[in-house]
Amino acid sequence: MGSQAGVGFSKKADSRENGIEAAQLALKEAGATSADLVILFTTGKHDPAKLRDGVRSVVGANAKIVGGYSMGIITRSHLSYDGFETGLAVVKSDTAKFDTFIEKGLVGNESKVGVALGNQIRNRDYVGERNVLVMYDSVKSKTEKGTSLNLATPLIEGIESSLGTMSRVAGVGMTDGMQWNPTHQFFDDQLERHTAIATVFHGGVRMDTTIMHGCVPASDYHEITKAEHNVIYEIDGKPAVDAVAEMLGPGSDRTWEDYPLFVTLGLNNGDKFGDFKETDYANRLVMAIDKEKRALVMFEPDLKAGHEVQLMRRSIDFSYIGKRAEDLLAKIGDRKPLFALYIDCLARASAYCGTEGEEAAEVQRVIGSKMPLLGIYSGVEIAKVGKLTQALDWTGVLCVFTE
């Protein structure tokens, strides 16, 4: 039989019926009657238990289910968000292997959870190469004072400290949108919060990835002179908010109230004085402003004092997106495509970044004609940047699974 995969979609408002429809359509595309693995994403408008029960009633009692929340869903023929969207991928195989792992208690313990998750993965036997897909709960808390996030950087460092460097890895920080409401994660029949989940594909399955960047430098290099955890207090010896205002220039119509989800800082991991290479950059998005301290609150804690950063200008070239997808397809050679997963920063959606069309439509065009496609909107993306596994902002990570 080999492996069969399919993707299903639903926008039904009734949560159980929504899960049933999405699962039925996925199995139909796969040409299967049950599933071994289900990757499930839905918006926060659903009752997660009813939706899960609907999916389970279709995919069978033995299917492993992993997933969580997303602002919207992308498939071969659908792209929509901020509604009742559910998307799921199913895989049925007598050759491919899927091992799933979960660690709880993420709040304040990202590194420890990462170490424990890495230990779980390390202590299992695999057939051939490991391909690791990481999913974690982005939202730590939401209060009247603002939103606090679970951080991917210490989670990744923890995983690799016990597991070793992951050669094939991708991941997603899950959220249901710009409101940063609390989320649920799916793990088999469990409904959880504040967890990190890993799925390891092996037994002949290979995951190839590429990063869809969308920023170019818009300033010279500026040194971070004071930072702690994920807060940048000073740049070039000035309050960070004031330094950004200078970078934007006197003609800018942006004020500090606009900085969250707009101001992006880039860290060049390549040659500082060479030609611009987008693949060398890790971009960091401002999440919030500390008005009292005139500081930037970042999505991740990896920008530190001494780092030289540039203000980045968002520039999504649709033809570039298509070319990156085509280049990734060329890498798979004569391997059999199973399905693709597109992890797309929610701030790249047209409604939030102001583009006339959706950049994910290029992924639909190139990938959707070749294999089943499941796309999700993320708070944080995880991928390899050079030899480093890094948390990313304002990117898309395209994963193609083949055997």
The pLDDT value recorded for residue 1 is 67
Pairing type for strands 37-42 and 64-69 reads parallel
Q: How confident is the model at residue 317 (pLDDT cuts 50, 70, 90)?
A: confident
Which is more confident, 366 or 262? 366
pLDDT at residue 111 tops 90: yes
Q: How confident is the model at residue 142 (pLDDT cuts 50, 70, 90)?
A: confident
CB-CB contact of 76 with 7 (8 Å): yes
Sign of CA dihedral 193, 196, 201, 206: positive
Q: Which residue bears the tokens 């950087």?
A: 153
pLDDT at residue 143 tops 80: no
pLDDT at residue 351 tops 70: yes
Q: What's phi and psi for 94, nearest 5 deg?
A: -105, 10
The pLDDT value recorded for residue 221 is 97
pLDDT above 90 as % of the chain: 80
Which is more confident, 275 or 104? 104
Read off the DSSP letter of residue 257: G
| Greatest CA separation for the chain | 64
The pLDDT value recorded for residue 262 is 86
Cα 282-99-360 angle, rounded to 5 deg: 40
Which is more confident, 251 or 18? 18
Q: How confident is the model at residue 169 (pLDDT cuts 50, 70, 90)?
A: very high
Cα 149-153-157 angle, rounded to 5 deg: 140
Range of lowest pLDDT (81-90, 194-203, 206-215, 231-240): 206-215
The pLDDT value recorded for residue 328 is 97
Residues contacting 390, CB < 8 A, separation 6+: 153, 156, 282, 302, 382, 383, 384
Chain segment 14-34, per-residue pLDDT in tens: 999 999 999 999 999 999 999
Average pLDDT score over residue span 385-395: 89
pLDDT at residue 62 tops 80: yes
Which is more confident, 331 or 347? 331
Q: How many CB atoms lie within 10 A of CB 252?
A: 12
Tell which phi-psi region holds residue 337, choosing left (phi > 0), alpha (psi between -120 and 50) or beta. beta
The pLDDT value recorded for residue 145 is 67
Range of lowest pLDDT (51-60, 139-148, 151-160): 139-148
Q: What's phi and psi for 239, nearest 5 deg?
A: -50, 135
Instruction: Map residue 292 onto helix, strand or coil.
Output: coil
pLDDT above 70 as % of the chain: 99
pLDDT at residue 144 tops 80: no
| Among the listed residues 105, 198, 114, the one whose alpha carbon sits nearest the alpha carbon of residue 152 | 114
Read off the DSSP letter of residue 379: S
pLDDT at residue 146 tops 80: no
Range of lowest pLDDT (110-114, 131-135, 226-230, 345-349): 345-349
Chain segment 205-241, per-residue pLDDT in tens: 999 999 998 788 999 999 999 999 999 999 999 999 9
